[in-house]
Structure 1
Amino acid sequence: MIEAALIFAFVCFGLGTLLCLWRVMTGPEVADRILALDTMVINVIAVLILYGIWQGTAIYYEASMLVAMVGFVSTVAYCRFTLRGDIIE
């Protein structure tokens, strides 16, 4: 039963990632693209955690934490660049 739930969750998060990728490519504004990239990071984190549950190992949880940190820093950097035109003052 858990396998069916994991497959359903993989399909849902995969579809969400593809829709976010579509928004990144066709977003009308830069802010929409930044939000779509941030949502893609969240979907990738969820897929990594699901894969860790499926494999029964904890290494994917640590990888998801690394992706979360990199995703947060990249979102802040994109927003600062959009607002100020410079990342480092």
Structure 2
Amino acid sequence: MFDAILLGAAIALGLISIPIVYRMIVGPTIIDRAVALDMLVVQVVMGLALYSAWTGTSFAVIPALALTATAFIGTLALARFVARADVPERKEGVE
């Protein structure tokens, strides 16, 4: 029974990743693509968790945590980049 639930969850993860990849490719802005990339990272971490549950080992826990931390740092860097791009240039001598 537990294997059937894990198989259903794996199939659902696979089907949900299709619109995510579509948004990564077609997304009109860099923000859309970044959000889709974050969603794909969540999908991969969930897949690693399913793998750990399926095999009964904790092998994939460390890579999942490392991937999560890397994605978080990347998201912060992108947010900072976008925030700086939105600020207009300041002209010298104008208050």
TM-score above 0.5: yes
Q: Aligned-pair RMSD on alpha carbons? A: 1.2
Identity %: 33
For the residue of structure 2 that corresponds to 1:59, the secondary structure is coil
Q: Tell me, yes or no, if structure 1 residue 42 matches structure 2 residue 55.
A: no
- Pairwise mapping of residues 56-75 of structure 1 onto structure 2 (< 5 A)? 56-75=56-75
Letter in structure 2 aligned against 1:34: A
Flag the structure with higher helix content: 1
Q: Letter of the aligned partner of 1:30 in structure 2?
A: I
Structure 2 spans left out of the alignment, 5+ residues: 86-95
Which whole-Å CA distance do the structure 2 matches of 1:73 and 1:11 have between them? 29
One-letter amino acid matched to 1:66: A
Structure-2 residue corresponding to 1:23: 23
How far does residue 83 in structure 1 lie from its aligned partner after superposition? Answer: 2.4
Q: Which residue number in structure 2 is paired with residue 5 of structure 1?
A: 5
The answer to whether the 8 A contact 1:34-1:79 is kept is no
In 2: Cα distance, 1:35 partner to 1:48 partner: 20
Max Rg structure: 2
1: CA distance between counterparts of 2:17 and 2:67? 15
CA shift for structure 1 position 47? 0.4
CA distance in 1, matches of 2:46, 2:21: 16
For 2:16 and 2:70, the matched residues in 1 are separated by 20
> Taking structure 1 as the reference length, what is the TM-score of the superposition?
0.86
Aligned length: 85
Please list every run of 5 or more consecutive structure 1 residues that lacks an aligned counterpart in the other structure. none
C-alpha separation in 1, matches of 2:13 and 2:69: 20
